A and B are shown apart, each in its own frame.
Chain A
């Protein structure tokens, strides 16, 4: 904190909405990756970034000005809201399950088609169709 004042910025000079901007940017990066990439693993990565954006959104919401981490302690009066943390713990677990299932499907798709590029899978399917 002293560092910031030393270089001429007030403490916590970051704009108050920075977290939300980060969430939106992450969300767009993730969404674009899911939509635009042909590679199935890249799609899953995009999905993960997309979900991470939501985690950031929730955790930012939970911050109470001047509050500490919600762990019970003596002489602490203001805590951050713990509920969004719990919700996001659940959402992270759901995200892991989704990623694991997605990757498992990709492994089996590779076994069946020999590729994980969407374009090549489509081509293989058309070849089989004719």
Chain B
């Protein structure tokens, strides 16, 4: 009986856990509840993925109202893939969190952290499972509002201005999204994604729909932090608590990319997208993001800010994959969605461990850490190699697909740009590695110890996943390819 309800339980479990943390504000209790909720979510997500893989898409009607009138949840292979990604990363980060939170967030606010974390998770999972365009907006705002508050929990006062800036940009993005949904509703009379896909072709040529599409791309672009809209991202990631940076970098922007995929391919359909001038501008922006993001990252002194700019570049790769509009390109983009989440969470968590021990993430303060914290820094190096795209790590696989897609389409300069951007990634990762390993102050930091086991295990779990999925590539590629084929197979 429970089994038939799993689509909605995916959202309900974290939603019920969140108020529990408000009512009983005890740190340990909240952590236990949050961990139980995320692990349950992970189990549900895996069940969903297996079910969808075997039997095709699942639908669920809330309140028993049939889909075009009520809110329907619809889970296809891409949604299931996203729920697994989000709940997996959030579980691992939660295992890591207690000590890091203890050091960075005051005791009186710890329970609020877990509440907001669970609400954020609810929003992100809801976006992935919902089949209703307006319901998606509600979940988007749940996750965004909680992430603004999470960022504002950072110790530095600049966290407040960063959160405020993100609040303004994020709200404008979300409002653009509902303007577009409103225009589409005016033309079609439906909010259900599957219904929209059926009714849109008739009115596709109207100016209203074109305007809606423009609002959608810009609105979602703000949430993704695609190149000219990325202004909020570096400060937000730099000044947020370490755990929050890891969580947002690994999940929030990825789910925004999911919304873009949903709108472009499930609502408008690949044919309409190919007919309209969308792919080329996206590709140009993606190329700018890749090169400029990587280049700016080289000149950062703060390791978290460095990773933030590298995130902008990596988002460029994902969008580049999407903009090819081919199965190979889309597979590469979706693969990179998953892979980038794995590497960025590993990297941000290892910086979290560094911050826990030395109280700073300035690159200059990390001298000699290679010897003091060998395991943490080794994880950083593996994550960095993955970012560069070294063979045997996940980064290699997705870049391989992106380059193949570029060559398939006959655009070899793009393949060259991808390689060039990887070289830039090598430079900024090397800056950290050089200082951590080759510039030691043996006497100054003699009392710095390796990070505690409760931090190392999650870090190395993610680092191990980076290597495992880089060698054993079968599962992720099959899933990503299935999702890409489904998206390009037209509206369903």
- Is B one of A's binding partners? yes
Least Cβ–Cβ distance between B158 and chain A, in angstroms: 7
Task: Assess whether A54 is in contact with B175, with CB atoms less than 8 Å apart.
Answer: yes
Closest Cβ of chain A to B416, distance in Å, is: 37
Residues of B within 8 A of A90 (CB): 134, 138
Question: Which residue of A43, A101, A112 contacts B149 across the interface (Cβ within 8 Å)?
Answer: A101
Q: Which residue of B lies closest to A46 (CB)?
A: B168
Please indicate the chain B residues that have their CB under 8 angstroms from the CB of A43 in the complex.
168
Whether the Cβ atoms of B134 and A108 lie closer than 8 Å is no
Complex interface bits, B152-163 against A, C-beta within 8 A gives 1, otherwise 0: 100001101101
Cβ contacts under 8 Å, A98 to chain B: 141, 145, 167, 171
- Are B164's CB and A106's CB within 8 A? yes
Give the dominant DSSP class at B's interface: helix
Are A94's CB and B164's CB within 8 A? no
A87, CB-defined interface residue at 8 Å: yes
Q: Do A54 and B182 form a contact, CB below 8 Å, given A94-B141, A105-B152?
A: yes
Q: Is the CB of A125 within 8 A of B167?
A: no
Q: Which bucket holds chain B's interface residue count?
A: 20 to 34
The answer for the CA separation of A31 and B219 in the assembled complex, in Å, is: 14
Report whether over half of chain A's contact residues are helix, strand or loop; otherwise say mixed. helix
Q: Is the CB of B152 within 8 A of A94?
A: no
Chain B residues 167-201 with CB under 8 Å of chain A are 167-168, 171-172, 175, 178-179, 182, 185-186, 191
What are 22 A-B pairs with beta-carbon distances under 8 A? A34-B172, A51-B171, A57-B179, A58-B182, A61-B185, A83-B191, A87-B134, A90-B134, A91-B137, A94-B138, A94-B141, A97-B141, A98-B145, A98-B171, A105-B152, A105-B167, A106-B164, A109-B157, A109-B160, A109-B161, A109-B164, A112-B157
Inter-chain contacts of B134 with A (CB < 8 A): 87, 90
Does chain A have a CB within 8 A of B148? yes
Q: Are B160 and A101 in contact (CB under 8 A)?
A: no
**A54 vs B182: C-alpha distance when bound (angstroms):** 9
Inter-chain contact B172/A50, CB cutoff 8 Å? yes
Q: Is A105 in contact with B148, judged by CB distance below 8 angstroms?
A: yes
A57 to chain B, nearest CB (A): 6
Instruction: List A contacts of B138 (CB < 8 A).
Output: 90, 94
For chain A residues 55-96, which have a beta carbon within 8 Å of chain B?
Answer: 57-58, 61, 83-84, 87, 90-91, 94
